Copies of this chain bind each other. A is one copy, B any other.
Amino acid sequence: MRLARATDADAIWPLLRDVFRAGETYAVDPQISKDAALDYWMTQPRAVYVAEEGGQILGTYYIKTNQPGGGAHICNCGYIVAPAARGQGLAAQMCAHSQAEARALGYKAMQFNFVLASNEGAVRLWHRLGFQTLATIPDAFDHPILGMVAAHIMHKSLVEGS
């Protein structure tokens, strides 16, 4: 796991493209351009990481400040695992890594704003990693196959002993 470099953009884009075009997990316009997607994933966040093995990028995640001003001590992260690397625990590994990095950056908590209830693997994983569902927004997402699905807001304190 390492910080992404600007030269990783062309290798990161296919991961973003497949997930965003499917429109089944991220609240992103499925028709988003490459430039806008890379801006969203690599430029706007505070830090971007890649999971690399043998020169292949198997996954990527970002850390961003969830709210500016008085809310700037809570971060948000997004994770994508390449199709070839799914089912091997990489999402859990990236999430654990992101929590350590977020702590090092001074964040006090991590919040996921939009975890689709239909994304059952993710919901189970985040619970297993200590995230709590704070809220469920009914009919929050128009899923291309399932229709309207709910979205969870999930949260974990990064302060030891809290």
Contact = CB atoms under 8 A, between A and B. Distances in A.
Contacts of A153: 134-135, 137, 153
Contacts of A143: 70
A142 B74 CA distance: 10
Nearest to A133: B135
A1 B138 CA distance: 31
B70 A141 contact: yes
A153 B109 CA distance: 17
State the number of copies, please. 2
Chain A interface size band reads 35 or more
Interface stretch (A23-31, A53-61, A84-92): A23-31
B142 A73 contact: yes
A103 to B, nearest CB: 15
Interface string A17-50: 0001001101111100000000000000000000
A36 B108 CA distance: 26
Interface in A56-79: 67-74
A160 B69 CA distance: 36
Interface of A: 20, 23-24, 26-30, 67-74, 108-109, 111, 113-114, 134-144, 151, 153, 155, 157
Identify the 9 closest CB pairs spanning chains A and B, nearest first: A135-B135, A27-B67, A27-B71, A134-B135, A70-B141, A70-B142, A28-B69, A29-B68, A27-B69
